[in-house]
Structure 1
Amino acid sequence: MQNEETKREEGMAAGQKFMLTIKEAAPYFNVGEKKLRRLAEDHMGEFAVYSGNRYLIIRTKFEEFVLNSSEI
């Protein structure tokens, strides 16, 4: 059962997912993992949530954040 779930998650493109892990979001947004993790820590609740032991980036909200920011 777990194998089927991982296949489903891997098969879905990052642009189709609502939430992305740091490792998925870094290449999608062309931002380093370390920088993305720091942004997630600083903007918790704005575009990032902490689930278990990992940060998840809400893709649509992070896209808005990037559009409204002059510098990351």
Structure 2
Amino acid sequence: METYNTIPIWKKINLTINEAARYSGIGRDKLYEIAKTPHCPFVLKNGSHILIKREKFEEYMAQITEV
């Protein structure tokens, strides 16, 4: 069984903001700004923690032309 730290980012269902920043090349502050917009399609909130739904995030990134 793989441990959490050895699972590649592209196989994870949800990403932390730091992982999403490394994965996308978008800065953490910008990701927080986008994630805090109402009804953001790729955000999963776990209490005060923000997680990024990787597949929805990829779809979102494919549709936008600027950040």
Interval of TM-score (by shorter of Structure 1 and Structure 2) = 0.7 to 0.9
- Structure 2 unaligned spans of 5+: none
Q: Quick check: which one's helix share is greater?
A: 1
Higher RCO, 1 vs 2 (CA within 8 Å, ≥6 residues apart):
2
Q: Deviations over 1:17-63 (max 9, x none)?
A: 01001011101111101101111111545111111221100011111
Which is greater in Rg?
1
Q: TM-score, normalised by structure 2?
A: 0.87
**Between the two proteins, what is the percent identity of the paired residues?**
33
- Structure 1 unaligned spans of 5+: 1-6
Root-mean-square deviation (Å) = 1.5
| Count of residue pairs the alignment pairs up | 66
Q: TM-score, normalised by structure 1?
A: 0.82
